Amino acid sequence: MRTLVLGGTRFLSREIARQARDRGHEVVCAARGVAGEPPSGVEFVRVDRAEDGGLAPLKGSFDLVVDVARLPSQVRRAVTELAGRAGHYTFVSSCSVYSDATRVNQVLHDPLPAGADESDPENYGPAKVACEQILGDGALHVRAGLIVGPEDQSDRFTYWVERLARGGRVLAPGSPGDLVQLVDVRDLAAWTLDAAQAGLTGPYDGISMPFTRGEMLAGIAEGLAVAPELVWAGQEFLTGHKVEPWAGPRSLPLWLPLPEYAGFMARDTSATLAAGLRIRPGRRHRPRHARLAARLRPPGDPRRPHHRRRSRTPPPASLTPGSPVSGPGPGPGPLIPWLPGFRAAWSPGCSRGRRGRDHGGCVARDDERLRGRSARCAGRPGPAGTAGRPRARSAGTGGPGAGPAG
């Protein structure tokens, strides 16, 4: 079986190419080659889909085509230039195609009109709708949600793995009953290939059934064999202290404001599960030690846990237990300088539990994300599986759920 992956150099599309190779497919990856390298053992063809005739270097026909494009013009060119040479077509879309995140429904954005700016992040959802309509009902549309797992660059799930592994009192956003949904990249890639080989067509939400944030954190803790003290901070407190949702600087990952996003991670995906999507048990994608979280990151990522060392330097004279958080501090990492409502007590492992005002020392003070280390994720939705910071109440936004797929 000959399989063409339009992409194949990053995250989901790379995993699809890898698994297709392992199934014995003759795999061709076609991309510009600037986002990364395709897996070994596949053919790589350098193309530029921004130009008419950009797919001309591809020769022959293909039994399966998997496309992770986000721009309607690229999909339109692919349909034209692969006409008569493509068998089953799979398009990796996004749950950002849904227009109203306040509730669970199947109402789509209007497709992005011709002449609109395809590259504008605000047009991400409508652009994906336009791509689906170009391909029509004869294609499989995988509407991916939050994708986690090996080579995830968004740091939204791995943040919680590392934070719980460091121990101490952990600031948890919202309430334990808030819903979340996610899917491991390996599971979604496997199902995408299974569905394509079976000739499945039409739209499917590629994500787990909803479960609670409390269950997610408990599963991570079980996989790490730790017992963190979770201190839950309500939405009013978080917004009052300008904590950002979802991803990016000054954020707590996977937290979304309610009711603006009440339906975003509450979708019924039983149809996809009935069609064969298998969701691995939580602890199978939660490493048992913080250092193993490195396997969830791309090679060379400076955020790998083993690239950081914990300081055991005593606190400076200006920072005494219970003093207001006002700047960088010692211990496992810096304090949070931008959250003046918190007071924190220094201890080598952030575990002595000295209390100050509000949530005391639970502020995840070694949380580098809150100091902006993931600024590149903020407000920049991209193809399939990760997303920038949500823009509440914006009908034209991509919102959470999109990200680098390949």
- Token pair belonging to 127: 């652009």
Cα 157 from Cα 174, distance rounded (Å): 16
Can you give the pLDDT at residue 153?
Answer: 85
Q: Which domain holds residue 67?
A: 2-144
In a domain, 48, yes or no: yes
Between 103 and 290, the more confident residue is 103
In a domain, 398, yes or no: no
CA separation, residue 201 to residues 76, 80, 296, 362 (Å): 19, 20, 31, 48
Its sign, for the CA torsion 246, 207, 214, 334, is: negative
Cα 397 from Cα 114, distance rounded (Å): 17
Tens-digit pLDDT profile for residues 20-35: 999 999 999 999 999 9
pLDDT > 70? residue 219: yes
Instruction: Assess whether 34 and 154 both reside in one domain.
Output: no
In a domain, 54, yes or no: yes
In a domain, 393, yes or no: no
Cα 151 from Cα 154, distance rounded (Å): 9
Can you give the pLDDT at residue 284?
Answer: 52
Q: What is the average per-residue pLDDT within 318-326?
A: 29
164: nearest Cα among 202, 127, 217, 114: 217
In a domain, 193, yes or no: no
188: nearest Cα among 125, 144, 131, 140: 144
Q: What is the chain's Cα-based Rg?
A: 22
Tens-digit pLDDT profile for residues 228-239: 999 999 999 999
Domain end, chosen from 144, 161, 188, is at 144
- Token pair belonging to 349: 């492992």
pTM: 0.76
Between 159 and 353, the more confident residue is 159
Between 305 and 194, the more confident residue is 194
Instruction: Assess whether 134 and 228 both reside in one domain.
Output: no
CA separation, residue 275 to residues 98, 134, 205, 270, 358 (Å): 21, 24, 11, 8, 47
Between 335 and 362, the more confident residue is 362
Instruction: Assess whether 242 and 359 both reside in one domain.
Output: yes
Cα 8 from Cα 64, distance rounded (Å): 14
What is the maximum span of the chain, computed from C-alpha positions, in angstroms?
74
Instruction: Assess whether 299 and 337 both reside in one domain.
Output: yes
Between 301 and 18, the more confident residue is 18
Range in 42-46, 74-78, 271-275, 318-322 the model is least confident about: 318-322
Instruction: Assess whether 136 and 222 both reside in one domain.
Output: no
Can you give the pLDDT at residue 94?
Answer: 97
Can you give the pLDDT at residue 302?
Answer: 54
Is residue 384 within 8 Å of 92, Cβ to Cβ?
A: yes
Instruction: Assess whether 52 and 110 both reside in one domain.
Output: yes
In a domain, 291, yes or no: yes
Instruction: Assess whether 122 and 168 both reside in one domain.
Output: no
Can you give the pLDDT at residue 14?
Answer: 98
- Token pair belonging to 120: 């504008």
In a domain, 306, yes or no: yes
Domain count within the chain: 2
- Token pair belonging to 181: 């949904």
Instruction: Assess whether 65 and 154 both reside in one domain.
Output: no
In a domain, 362, yes or no: yes
pLDDT > 60? residue 360: no
Which pLDDT band holds residue 325 (cuts at 50, 70, 90)?
very low
Tens-digit pLDDT profile for residues 38-69: 999 999 999 999 999 999 999 999 999 999 99
Tens-digit pLDDT profile for residues 81-102: 999 999 999 999 999 999 999 9
The domain that holds 27 is classified in CATH as 3.40.50.720
Instruction: Assess whether 33 and 171 both reside in one domain.
Output: no
> What region, left, alpha or beta, does residue 47 occupy, with left being phi > 0 and alpha being psi -120 to 50 degrees?
beta
Tens-digit pLDDT profile for residues 103-131: 987 899 999 999 999 999 999 999 999 99
Instruction: Assess whether 256 and 336 both reside in one domain.
Output: yes
pLDDT > 50? residue 281: yes
Tens-digit pLDDT profile for residues 367-392: 443 434 333 333 333 333 433 334 43
145: nearest Cα among 119, 174, 180: 180
Cα 396 from Cα 98, distance rounded (Å): 10
Q: What is the average per-residue pLDDT within 236-243?
A: 94
Q: What is the average per-residue pLDDT within 383-403?
A: 38
Instruction: Assess whether 140 and 152 both reside in one domain.
Output: no
Tens-digit pLDDT profile for residues 174-218: 999 999 999 999 999 999 999 999 999 999 999 999 999 999 999
Partners of 64 in the β-ladder: 3, 88
Instruction: Assess whether 36 and 72 both reside in one domain.
Output: yes
Domain end, chosen from 144, 165, 191, is at 144
Provide the 8-state DSSP code for 108: B
Percent of the residues in the chain that have a pLDDT greater than 70, as a whole number: 69
Task: Assign 139 to helix, strand or coil.
Answer: coil
Can you give the pLDDT at residue 300?
Answer: 57
